[in-house]
Amino acid sequence: MLVSDRPSLTAIASVGPTAADGRLPLIGLDKAEMAALAVEMEEKPYRGTQLFHWIYSRGARSFDDMTDISKVCRTRLTDTFTLERPEIAQEQISEDGTRKWLHTFADGQKAETVLIPEDDRGTLCISSQVGCTLTCRFCHTGTQRLVRNLTAGEIIAQILVARDALDEWPTPKDDSRKITNIVLMGMGEPLYNFEAVKKAMKIVMEGDGISISRHRMTLSTSGVVPEIERCGEELRINLAISLHAGTDDVRSKIMPINKKYPLKELMAACAAYPGASNARRITFEYVMLKDINDSEADARALVDLVKDVHCKFNLIPFNPWPGTPYECSSKKTIERFQTVLTDAGLTCPIRTPRGRDILAACGQLKTDSEKLSAKERRAQAEQAWAEKDAQLG
């Protein structure tokens, strides 16, 4: 029987926007869904396993590449489904080797992905939303209004596009990898899109898929307390928290989400994070903002705050963006801050900014930029913050 109508799998229908030609995206389906699809096409379930392998492990971009699947089946797949990636609207390479891709998804929405190559690893920083509903005052993405969640397929497609661009699909002769680590630290708050993030990361972990271990994946959250435990229970990946202050007073000013989930609750969730131990510590990210959160008293408050959590710190020099009200703390101030934490026995390297020249560093991503003066940008940011803060309540 030919598949004349689209398969009725709700999972497929809900995967995401259809391609311009009306075909349905297959990227984003997990192994069970692919097996179910095969059965619906009156094929053996193992066809689903083959599809999974071709798509995520071999990087096939056309069903015709799938030489161990019959011609008839390939044609039927091609008639209904697509393996199309999001279009690359822009690709930039920083003077330090950092690469940034701006993707346009099937409905025209955009998000960015950043690759940070280092000597011993390659970290791909992926987005989970278009924009962000939150309004952390130091973050460029937080000034962006337009928001939708990315689908699991769109989250995974960011990895596939990077692998295409790096030409790193494994061959029998060469299965070396340039992308070794995945961090959910691009645009958006991953715990506000947890179902899609979870599905995508589970697919990425599969041994006969992209096959990146959960130990090499990190999810960063601004502190959506009710979802933190699930992340540890259901995904078991590393957790990073955007902490940025040691007191509720300071944190609420720069991260309005703190009014909803204050530090006491956040620390309790971190202390109870499933899987956290001295060997697998939670990372606290701390952006150094001049005269806002960078005093020795701020550092001492932090030491006291985190005493019950297996943790390490990352001190991040603030990365400026057009229209920002903040400046980065001086090198001396950052070092003084670091000394207080180190003296208390905490690990706290100072991160070297990467990709600043192409606005690819932490907190610099934004995809709806217009050509505006600094004053206009600031006004636009304040308006976006006010609207979004009102929704946050």
Q: Which among ligand SAH, ligand SF4, none contacts residue 34 (Cβ within 5 to 8 A by kind)? A: none
318 touches which of ligand SF4, ligand SAH, none (CB within 5 to 8 A by kind)? ligand SAH
Which does residue 218 bind out of ligand SAH, ligand SF4, none, counting CB within 5 to 8 angstroms by kind?
none
Adjacent-strand bridge partners of 59: none
- The smaller minimum CB distance to ligand SAH, of residues 66 and 362, is found at 362
Q: For residues 26 and 34, what is the distance between their CA atoms, to the nearest angstrom?
A: 9
Residues that are catalytic? 112, 362
Q: Which residues pair with 112 in a beta bridge?
A: 102
Closest distance of CB 78 from ligand SAH, Å: 37
- The distance of closest approach from Cβ of residue 9 to ligand SF4 in the complex, given in angstroms and rounded to an integer, is 33
Pick the closer one to ligand SF4 by CB: 311 or 316: 316
List the one residue out of 372, 359, 376, 393 whose CA is nearest residue 140. Answer: 359
Per-residue string for binding with ligand SAH, 217-236, x by CB under 6 A?
---xxx--------------
- Of 53 and 244, the one with the shorter C-beta distance to ligand SF4 is 244
By CB under 6 A, the residues from 187 to 216 that bind ligand SAH are 189
**In the 8-state DSSP scheme, what is residue 192?**
G
Contact in structure between 59 and 163 (CB atoms under 8 Å): yes
DSSP for 86-121, please give it: PEEEEEEE-TTS-EEEEEE-TTS-EEEEEEEE-SS-
Structure tokens at 2: 């030919």
Site for ligand SAH in 260-319 (CB under 6 A): 285, 287, 316, 318-319
- Cβ 257 to ligand SF4 shortest distance, Å: 7
The least CB distance from residue 243 to ligand SAH, in Å, is: 8
* 3-state secondary structure at position 24: strand
- Residue 139 C-beta: closest distance to ligand SF4, Å: 3
Q: Which residues contact 40 (CB under 8 A, 6 or more apart)?
A: 3, 7, 8, 9
Q: How far is the CB of 324 from ligand SF4 (least distance, A)?
A: 12
Site string for ligand SAH, 352-381 (x = CB under 6 A): ----------xx------------------
Binding of ligand SAH at residue 144 (CB under 6 A)? no
Length of the chain: 393
* Sequential DSSP letters for 26-79: -TT--HHHHHHHHHHTTS-THHHHHHHIIIIIS---SGGG-TTS-HHHHHHHHH
- Cβ atoms within 10 Å, residue 59: 18
CA distances from 274 to 269, 305, 354 (A): 9, 20, 31
Query: Which residues have a Cβ under 8 Å from the Cβ of 81 and sit 6 or more positions away?
Result: 23, 24, 25, 26, 63
Residues that bind ligand SF4 (CB under 6 A): 132, 134, 136, 139, 141-142, 188-189, 222, 242
With CB under 6 A, what is the number of residues at the site for ligand SAH?
16
Q: Which is nearer to ligand SAH, 266 or 346 (CB)?
A: 266
129 forms beta bridges with 149
Sign of CA dihedral 273, 279, 283, 288: positive
> Could you say which of ligand SAH, ligand SF4, none residue 223 binds, taking C-beta under 5 to 8 angstroms by partner kind?
none
DSSP code string of 135-173: --TT-SGGG----EEPPHHHHHHHHHHHHHHHT----SS
Closest to ligand SF4 by CB, 169 or 261: 261
319 binds, among ligand SAH, ligand SF4, none (CB under 5 to 8 A by kind): ligand SAH
Q: Which of 257, 239, 236, 237 is nearest to 248 (CA)?
A: 257
Phi, psi dihedrals of residue 340, rounded to the nearest 5°: -60, -45
Q: Which is nearer to ligand SAH, 52 or 286 (CB)?
A: 286
Q: Which is nearer to ligand SAH, 50 or 324 (CB)?
A: 324
Residue with CB nearest ligand SAH?
363
Name the binder of 316 from ligand SAH, ligand SF4, none, CB < 5-8 A by kind: ligand SAH
Instruction: Determine the Cα angle at 331 with ends 126 and 297, to 5°.
Output: 95
Please give the residue ranges that form the binding site for ligand SAH (CB under 6 A).
136, 138-139, 185, 189, 220-222, 242, 285, 287, 316, 318-319, 362-363
